[in-house]
Structure 1
Amino acid sequence: MGGSTGGATGRTYRSRSAAERSADRRERLLAAALELFGTRGRAATSVSDLCEHAGLSSRQLYQEFANREALLFALYDRINDEAARAVAAELAGSAADPAPQRIRAAITAYLRSTAADTRRARVAFLEVVGVSDEVERERRERRLRWARMLSVEVAAVIESGALPPQDPMPMLVAFIGALNGLAHEWCLDDHRQPVEDVAETLVRLLVGGLTAPPVPRGPAPVRPPQ
């Protein structure tokens, strides 16, 4: 009666449950974080700025996130989760294609998801760097996760005989680092290349690294007698 009820989904207010109001606050705060962190940057964005943009109070922000960094971390997670879904969908839709084409499609899908919107690119590749030890551990885990996803496709190319037998993981970890570095610079460039051109550069880098013959090692240096 009177618009408030109790039940398994929690107390309601004005026909919305507590869980629904919490979800709404989180969405508004994440949208504010994307806009402000993605344009002016984390260092230039205060809790007050985020609350004003979201139309919420600081108390409401702290109901959803422990602090400003936790909000940034949640946004970073969302961007990566959405990119993972985009890549998975692209791979599922190109199951019949040759593996090299699937690798190109996966890289392009990743970049379109994370970098086509420059705000998302700034958050994913620039604003999260060096925030905290926790975020750095998450970034490392994300890099390894992406490398493992690509390793499945690369293993298929190796099995087909199109690439020499090798353990691709060291090269893939190096490639993910290069991808992050290139995307970082792309974010800072006032004259950005199209995402497709960046993807092509990355494909050439990966294919070149996986097909290049080993560099001969010279003889070990002879140490003079002591």
Structure 2
Amino acid sequence: MAGRLKAPTGRYGGKSAEQRQAERRGRFLDAALRSFGGAPGYRGTTVASLSEAAGLSTRQFYEEFRTLEDVLAELHLQVNAWAEEAVMAAAVAAEGRPLAERAAAIFRAYAANVTSDPCRIRITFVEIVGVSPRLDEQRLARRARWIDLICAEATAAAARGEGAPRDYRLAATAFIGSVNGLLHDWSAGWVDATLDEVVDELVRQLLDILRPREQEPGGPRSAQ
């Protein structure tokens, strides 16, 4: 389809056209979260089945989106935005706490948000992978935001004397890869562990990255 159909204008039922459009879009995204993140998954969903799940028509779908890929793209960004909001709130709440406590609180806030719904896990770590070059680029761009956040926390810790002043980007990239891989495999049932155990392991990895170098095995402190 070359473009979206024109949405109706004017007020109806006490709501403006913009309000009705926002409600329709929200219903499509809610239905997509369940369909893409559960059964039948993104690749098994059609415009007709998604519209039926949302209680709307295919015509209304094309008033809001061009393709199902557009829906998945928006949903992926939304799930990540929810997690980022949780992380930012945890960072504010943990202000002034020691590095280990602060880092653990921030990551646990992320994990609690993204794993609060199995559908969010699948959207973030499973369904988005390999769909198209466009979505691969979006996924990597969103990953880069998380890497930047870890690097900013590490740099701030170093400035406070709680961490080593070094370039953390490579370590942060490796950690995000661990998060994506482990939560993907856990979601697929390939990891024999509880979600709490998975999160605990990832917290340990994060703290190992942020630990000052003199506290690492073989460092000056351990050699004394």
- Name the TM tier (shorter chain): 0.7 to 0.9
Q: Find the counterpart in structure 2 of residue 56 from structure 1.
A: 56
Which residue in 2 is equivalent to 1:28? 27
**Counterparts of residues 63-212 of structure 1 (less than 5 Å):** 63-189=63-189, 193-211=193-211
Name 1:224's counterpart in structure 2.
none
AA matched with 1:178: S
Shift of 1:48: 1.1
Identify unmatched segments of 5+ residues in structure 2: 1-8, 219-224
| 1:147–1:169 CA contact under 8 A, matched in 2 | yes
Mapped partners of 1:173, 1:148: distance in 2:
9
Deviates more, 1:191-200 or 1:137-146: 191-200
Task: Give 1:141 shift.
Answer: 1.1
Q: Does the CA-based 8 Å contact 2:155-2:165 persist in structure 1? A: no
Q: Is the 8 A contact 2:185 2:191 kept in 1?
A: no
| AA in 1 matched with 2:20 | R
AA partner of residue 13 (structure 2): R
Structure 1 segments unaligned to the other structure (5+ residues): 1-9, 216-226
> Please, what TM-score do these two structures have when normalized by structure 1?
0.84
Contact residue 79 and residue 124 of structure 2 kept, 8 A: yes
- When Rg is computed on C-alpha atoms for both structures, the one with the higher figure is 1
User: How do residues 6-21 of structure 1 correspond to structure 2 at under 5 angstroms?
Assistant: 11-21=10-20
On the 8 A contact 1:122/1:184 being kept in 2, the answer is yes
Compared with structure 1, are the counterparts of its residues 110 and 69 closer, same or farther at alpha carbon in structure 2 (3 Å cutoff)?
Answer: same
Superposed CA deviations along residues 179-223 of structure 1, whole A, max 9, x for unmatched, are 1111111111177744432221112122334557699xxxxxxxx
In structure 1, C-alpha distance between the alignment counterparts of 2:194 and 2:105, rounded to whole Å = 15
Q: Structure 2 length as normaliser, TM-score?
A: 0.85
Structure-1 separation of matches of 2:14 and 2:192: 47
Pair 14,162 (structure 1): closer, same or farther in 2 beyond 3 Å: closer
8 Å Cα contact 1:111-1:195 kept in structure 2: no
Q: In 2 relative to 1, CA 141–105 (structure 1 residues): closer, same or farther, beyond 3 Å? A: same
Shift, 1:158, TM fit: 2.6
Task: Return the letter of the residue paired with 2:123.
Answer: V
The verdict on how the C-alpha distance between 1:88 and 1:52 changes in structure 2, with shifts beyond 3 A counting, is same
